[in-house]
Amino acid sequence: MESKSGLVNNLTLTAPMEERGQKLLSELDELAEGGLEAFIAKVPDPVLLVGPGAKLGNLNDSTSKEEDVSTGTMPSGVPGSEQPTVVIPVVKRFTTSVADMIWLGRAVTCDVILPYDAVSKVHAVLSHHASGDLLVTDVGSKNGTWINGKRLQSGQQVPLRDRDVLKLGNVQALFLVPRSLYDFVKAEAEERKG
């Protein structure tokens, strides 16, 4: 199945990241050069940034937290000791009887696959509330779910908002809507230029 961005999500964890709908943060630089509208046309879905480069401070926002978003064990097959920052689309991959739920976990049957040891096979679920909020719920994971440092109880629903830090076990991710991802990518490019 394809996301709105046209990235194919493969069902095997041994497949390259791009076949699971994932990209490296550095691969988005070229897309951002075309401007905001072109970027959002190519990356219309919210994402999770996982890795050492996912720093909230890079958004240059007075409300952002200066917290590093780092990960636990990276998936196998990542070359070298440098851990790249991975961009994971938050999209529904499978048609199920519960159309408004996006499942997060290590299992290949999840909509958002997080192939890290500390993430449960089915760890959490995102759902849309009638108010328009996107809610995250821990579904009884072994290692817990946190939003901005606050642990969720199993079954507890909490709004997930742009620039929130979502932690699943020891894997931390930065949740960004497309506009914030664009700003993040541009800020990263400027920082590298020095």
All residue ranges of the chain with pLDDT < 70 are: 1-22, 52-83, 96-99
> CB of 32 within 8 A of CB of 43?
no
pLDDT for the residue numbered 158: 96
Enter the tokens of residue 1. 């199945």
CA gap 91, 128 in Å, rounded: 12
Cα 83 to chain centroid distance, Å, stands at: 16
Q: Report how far residue 171's alpha carbon sits from residue 42's, in angstroms, rounded to the nearest whole number.
A: 27
- Which letter, b or e, does each residue of 120-151 get, where b requires 16 or more Cβ atoms within 10 Å of its Cβ? bebbbbbbeeeeeebbbbbeebebbbbbeeee
pLDDT of residue 82: 53
Q: What is the pTM of this model?
A: 0.77
Q: What are the angstrom distances between the C-alpha of 138 and each of 14, 47, 52, 124, 160?
A: 26, 18, 24, 4, 12
pLDDT number for residue 189? 82
- DSSP notation for 126-148: EEE-TTS-EEEEE-S-SS-EEET
Check residue 79 and give its pLDDT.
33
Q: Identify residue 18 by its one-letter amino acid code.
A: E
pLDDT at 29: 85
Looking at residue 12, its pLDDT comes to: 34
